[in-house]
Amino acid sequence: MSKSDYWLDKRVLITGCTGVLGSWMTRRLLAHGADVIGLIRDWVPQSNLMLSETVDQIKIVRGNIQDEALVARIFSDYEIETCFHLAAQTVVGIANRAPVPTFEANIRGTWNILEAARNWPGTRSVVIASSDKAYGAHDELPYSENAALLANHPYDVSKACADMIAQTYANTFSLPVAVTRCANMYGGGDLNWNRIVPGTVRSTYRHEGPLIRSDGTMRRDYVYVKDIVTAYLMLAEALEADTDTHRGLAYNFGQDKPISALDMVQTIIGLSINPQLEPDIQNTARNEIQDQFLSSQLAHERLGWEPAHSLEEGLRETVEWYYDFLAKEPS
């Protein structure tokens, strides 16, 4: 487990703090006594960060991760010690329709963070969010960290580039940076309704059959956001405590239990208020890999990380979050 006393008074920058992972990470770090600085581009009142009033407890910088001068100023003005770089354009469909903004946010944004961290002498650890999508398609599953990055679609490539740039800063400049490659993360606060978990939960709340964009057979690994928060904190702690061991490494984090899209939707339906609903399989998804899942063995061995929630436990909490959120929406 993460050491809560490690974070007391530590100055932590979280980019993307209004996102699902960033909002839960902010709450955890505040509970541990950290001094959290959040970079926010868009003001989203429905964000978990705002709804939980966590935003009132942190220092806010308004701006864009692509603004090099702004990012550099944050590190120096707030004397950043640890940075969790989570800000990104994360929607595969948007990346396919408009790749350049995705490249700008995910690639330029990452090198801006790394360059600012390199030039600020107080930097102790930087954790960069890559993705399991950076691996691309492989015949051998599950992916281990030494698998080649074979991404060939816009979102996947943007994450592979950010991943490799982070390793460049570790190897060339000895920056204390490590990379996470997470399985499909879910949890309360994800307001992208095109994703399988929030979309399915909302459909069950509205008494509608959930949509499955693929043919339902694609297999993915899913991991609860609270377990990923723990993973990030443990990695940052390990990176500062033993920089030579962890610097430049990528770590996979997942449940290690792949499940098909159809089975995932049916599991959510079974936990919902409408367990009799039937999914609507549309089979319209394009540019997506058939099967993609990770091995988290390295994280188990080197970090001692294990997910604390089963799929059903995490989904039950997630369904409760969304039902509470949707009940408060204007009718």
Q: Which positions are catalytic? A: 155
Stretch (H or E) spanning 83: strand 82-85
Cα(266)–Cα(292) distance, integer angstroms: 19
Closest-CA residue to 185 (of 251, 134, 254): 254
Structure tokens at 253: 């984090």
Cα(246)–Cα(250) distance, integer angstroms: 8
Q: Establish how many alpha carbons lie within 13 A of residue 98's alpha carbon, considering only the half-sphere containing its beta carbon.
A: 8
DSSP state of 210: P
Residue 324 burial (CB < 10 Å; 0-12/13-18/19+)?
exposed
Stretch (H or E) spanning 260: strand 259-260
Q: Helical H runs in 151-290?
A: 154-173, 196-205, 225-241, 243-246, 261-270
Q: Establish how many alpha carbons lie within 13 A of residue 118's alpha carbon, considering only the half-sphere containing its beta carbon.
A: 18
| 199, 159 Cβ separation under 8 angstroms | no
